[in-house]
C-alpha cells in the first residue's frame, strides 16, 4: 500500500505535535521530515516524550528544497510563514495544507488589515480552497493549497450554517459567544498564559475585534445573499483544550417549532462523519470531544427571549486544527476522510 509522503513545517507547537500524534498512527501516512529552526538536530521524541516509540525523526532546518520529494506539506507555523513557501512547493508539485491564516481570507486588503503584513503571494489566495469539508469537500479534493479553518470559525460556522443556508434566521443579528482553552493561544511563552494567571479565572478578550471575525463572516456570507452582521466575542477558559460556541439567532418565523429546526440539522449533517447533532434537550461539553475530530451540536430556544440557541463544541487542536487538516489530506488523496481519525474522545 503506497504511503503519502508528508513534510511538516514548524513542528514544535501544539498543532505540530497534534499533527504528529495523529499521523504516526495513520495507516497511509509517512512523515518524512519535520522542521524547526530552534530545535534543529533534536530528536522529536526528546521534545515530545509522548511520541517515544512512534517516531525516530529529528527536527531539521527548514530548507525549501528538502520538501521537493513530499506529496503534501503541512505548515503548522505562525501566520505569515506558509505563504513564503507556497510558490516553490506548488512549482515542485507538492500540495500545501496551511494550518495558519495565510490563505483563509479572500480579500487581501481585509487580510492585511487584520494580520498586519503584506501578503507574499496574493495571486495564490484565490486558488486556495477553504478547508471546511462540510462545505467545500468537492473542491478540497482537487486543491493544491488548502486553507485549514481556524478553531473558532469551525465551531461557529458549523453551528450557524444550516440556519443561514435555509434562510431561517435574521442574519443581520447573529451573536457568537465563544470560549477556548489556553492551547488556542499557542505554545510560546507568555505571562498572560501562565498557570497562575489563567487558573481559577475566566475572561473575555479581543472584544473590539478578533482575527477570526472576518473569517466567520466570510463563511456565513457565502451561504446567503443577505448581509451578515455578526457579534463575535471570544473568552479564555482555564482548561487545556476545547472550544465551546454558544450561538444566538432570531428565527425569521418565531413560531417555527424547535423540532423542525432540529430535523433540518439532522438532514444537513446526516452524512458528515465528524458532526454529531445531539437529541433535543442536550448540552454538549468540551470533554465529550477532547482529542477527537468531532463537532457536537445541540439546539435550544432560550426561555423568555425566544431566541434560538445553538451549542457547538470541538477540540481546538483536533477538529479546530490538526485533525481537520488530516481530514482534508484524506480527501485530497482520495482516502476515506475518517482514516486515522476515528478514535473516540478521551474521558475523563
Active-site option among 70, 121, 151, 295: 151
pLDDT value at residue 274: 98
CA nearest to 98, candidates 141, 144, 146: 146
CA nearest to 246, candidates 166, 201, 307: 307
- What ranges do the domains of the chain cover? 4-127, 152-316
Sign of CA pseudo-dihedral 244, 73, 269, 345: negative
CA nearest to 299, candidates 149, 93, 161: 161
pLDDT value at residue 105: 98
CATH of domain 4-127: 3.40.50.720
Averaged over successive runs of 10 residues, the pLDDT of the chain (348 residues) comes to 94 93 97 92 95 96 87 96 96 97 97 96 97 98 98 98 98 98 81 83 94 97 96 96 98 94 98 98 97 98 89 98 98 98 92
CB–CB of 32/5 below 8 Å? yes
Q: Count Cα atoms within 13 angstroms, Cβ side, for 98.
A: 26
What b/e readout covers 197-213, taking b as 16+ CB neighbours within 10 angstroms? ebeeeeeeeeeeebbbb
152-316 has CATH 3.90.550.10 classification = no
| 151 tagged catalytic | yes
- Tell whether pTM > 0.85: yes
CA nearest to 72, candidates 90, 103, 87, 94: 94
Task: Give the CA radius of gyration of the chain.
Answer: 20
Amino acid at each position: 500500500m503506497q504511503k503519502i509522503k508528508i513534510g511538516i513545517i514548524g513542528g514544535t507547537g501544539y498543532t505540530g505535535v497534534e499533527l504528529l500524534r495523529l499521523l504516526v498512527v495513520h495507516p497511509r501516512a509517512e512523515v518524512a521530515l519535520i522542521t524547526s529552526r530552534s530545535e534543529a538536530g533534536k530528536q522529536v521524541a526528546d521534545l515530545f516524550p509522548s511520541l517515544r516509540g512512534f517516531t525516530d525523526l529529528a527536527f531539521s532546518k527548514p530548507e525549501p528544497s528538502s520538501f521537493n520529494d513530499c506529496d503534501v506539506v503541512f505548515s503548522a507555523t505562525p501566520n505569515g510563514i506558509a505563504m513564503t513557501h507556497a510558490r516553490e512547493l506548488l512549482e515542485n508539485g507538492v500540495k500545501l495544507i496551511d494550518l495558519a491564516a495565510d490563505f483563509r481570507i479572500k480579500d487581501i486588503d481585509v487580510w492585511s488589515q487584520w494580520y498586519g503584513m503584506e501578503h507574499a503571494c496574493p495571486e495564490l489566495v484565490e486558488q486556495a480552497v477553504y478547508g471546511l469539508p462540510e462545505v467545500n469537500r468537492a473542491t478540497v479534493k482537487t486543491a493544491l493549497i488548502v486553507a485549514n479553518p481556524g478553531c473558532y470559525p469551525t465551531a461557529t460556522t458549523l453551528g450557524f450554517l444550516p440556519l443561514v443556508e435555509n434562510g431561517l434566521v435574521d442574519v443581520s443579528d447573529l451573536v457568537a459567544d465563544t470560549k477556548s482553552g489556553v492551547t488556542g493561544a499557542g505554545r510560546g511563552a507568555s505571562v498572560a498564559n501562565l498557570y497562575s494567571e489563567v487558573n481559577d479565572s475566566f475572561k473575555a478578550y479581543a472584544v473590539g475585534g478578533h482575527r477570526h471575525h472576518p473569517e466567520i463572516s466570510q463563511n456565513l456570507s457565502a451561504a446567503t445573499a443577505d448581509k451578515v452582521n455578526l457579534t463575535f466575542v471570544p473568552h479564555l477558559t482555564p482548561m487545556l483544550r476545547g472550544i465551546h460556541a454558544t450561538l444566538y439567532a432570531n428565527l425569521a418565523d418565531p413560531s417555527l417549532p424547535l423540532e423542525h429546526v432540529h430535523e433540518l440539522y439532522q438532514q444537513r449533517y446526516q452524512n458528515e462523519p465528524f458532526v454529531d447533532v445531539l437529541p433535543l434537550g442536550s448540552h454538549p461539553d468540551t470533554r465529550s470531544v477532547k482529542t477527537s475530530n468531532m463537532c457536537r451540536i445541540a439546539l435550544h430556544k432560550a426561555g423568555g427571549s425566544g431566541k434560538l440557541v445553538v451549542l457547538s463544541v470541538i477540540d481546538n487542536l483536533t477538529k479546530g486544527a490538526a485533525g481537520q487538516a488530516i481530514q482534508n489530506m484524506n480527501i485530497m488523496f482520495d482516502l476515506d476522510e475518517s482514516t486515522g481519525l476515528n478514535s473516540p474522545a478521551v474521558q475523563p
